[in-house]
Amino acid sequence: MSDLIFHVLPGGRLTGTLRVPGDKSISHRSIMLGSLAEGVTEVSGFLEGEDSLATLQAFRDMGVEIHGPEQGRVTIHGVGLHGLKAPSKPLDLGNSGTSMRLLSGLLSGQAFDVTLIGDSSLSKRPMKRVTLPLAQMGAVVETTEGGTPPLAIKGGKPLHGIDYAMPVASAQVKSCLLLAGLYADSPTCVTEPAPTRDHTERMLRGFGYPVKVDGATACVEPGGRLTATTIDVPADISSATFFMVGAAISEGSDVTLQHVGINPTRIGVINILRLMGTDLEVLNEREVGGEPVADIRVRGSKLKGCVIPEDQVPLAIDEFPALFVAAACAEGETLLTGAEELRVKESDRIQVMADGLIALGVDAVPTPDGMRIQGGTIGGGEVQSHGDHRIAMSFAMAALRASGPITIHDCANVNTSFPGFVELAAGAGLGIALGG
């Protein structure tokens, strides 16, 4: 793939009313549960990004009839919990860690063998966090010696329910085990050390499958069934974050983001931006398909550095690349700790963001589990995104406060989560253009 480059001019401001693409986490799960349901599930607001499309293709490859996506609308003809068929080839999940981790649980309960593969970035990501507890349930999932993909899943293995205390807070691990638990012979319970996104639990209930949640423990019992439903996917708060940060750091900005999912397990970015002094309003709160949504208005603000509370870290784990940019524009020091998970995302987001900020003249010091950033001025320069979509979009927004142009390399993967980012950002006032 040739190097797709973002060229971003310094200065400017963001204005207008925008709707960012649908939530990636919910889009993935709508395909998975819709495929396993009985009846026809209609989805609107589906994210037509490469990651969710990889999930959609995987279920097509296992014999599920799926129409669309067309303008965010998808129709899924569910086959029931036991209706999937063996694919004729390995399932290629591209760059999507969510697809691979959730499918490893779901597919451990099937009657057929299946292999999960991904691109070079996904092939380096750790999978033992799911394969070890799945093995406790009786699943047979083989990885490379280093515990990375491809994953070879052996079918026809009886699964047993377990009580699992997760060593690290991860919605992907929790979801993987709950989905495997649908196929076990006794209840499966997962206890998390800190709250993580609960889209799987909410959507299982939306499809009529009971989930018991008691404090930090979620349990499913086998023997239920999923019944087709209608899902309206909210706009993705992770994608909205780039515009929230861009508006907050640029004087005179005034942006309203419509129909954004504000699931309580995902609102760390709102809490942290408010802690830094952002003028941020949450308007028109409502519930759509079991998920809370709202419109979010952000105006240009004088930000102050802060110590980010560790209890907010799991609620904002995907938003830190953008929050690091906010910290670079804030007065004083911002300190993040307890976020070692950032080192095993699509890139090592702590190191890659620190390298980029330093390249732009920001005083940023990476630590094993976070970063220390002294706010000040952002210069122009060249930044490597290492193929990480969130890094590329975060540095694009940094240009609003930069003293010179910013060139960002390796931006093709922005399409995994945010197709149309460049057009939407340019329309709101960011001086961004594509190069190659």
- Catalytic residue set: 318
Among candidates 41, 2, 3, 45, which has minimal Cα distance to 25?
A: 45
Angle at 300 between CA 298 and CA 303, to 5 degrees: 100
Q: How far apart are CA 40 and CA 62, in angstroms?
A: 17
Contact call for residues 255 and 247 (beta carbons, < 8 A): yes
What radius of gyration, in Å, describes the C-alpha atoms of the chain?
A: 21
* Residue 313, phi then psi, degrees to nearest 5: -60, -50
Contact call for residues 176 and 158 (beta carbons, < 8 A): no
Where do we find the tokens 């910290």? 327
Single-letter amino acid code for the residue at 408: I
188 sits in which H/E element: strand 188-191
Contact call for residues 179 and 200 (beta carbons, < 8 A): yes
CA 266 to chain centre: 10
Question: What is residue 63's DSSP assignment?
Answer: T
Q: How far apart are CA 74 and CA 243, in angstroms?
A: 27
385-400 as b/e, with b when 16 or more CB fall inside 10 Å?
A: bbbbbbbbbbbbbbbb
Contact call for residues 347 and 354 (beta carbons, < 8 A): no
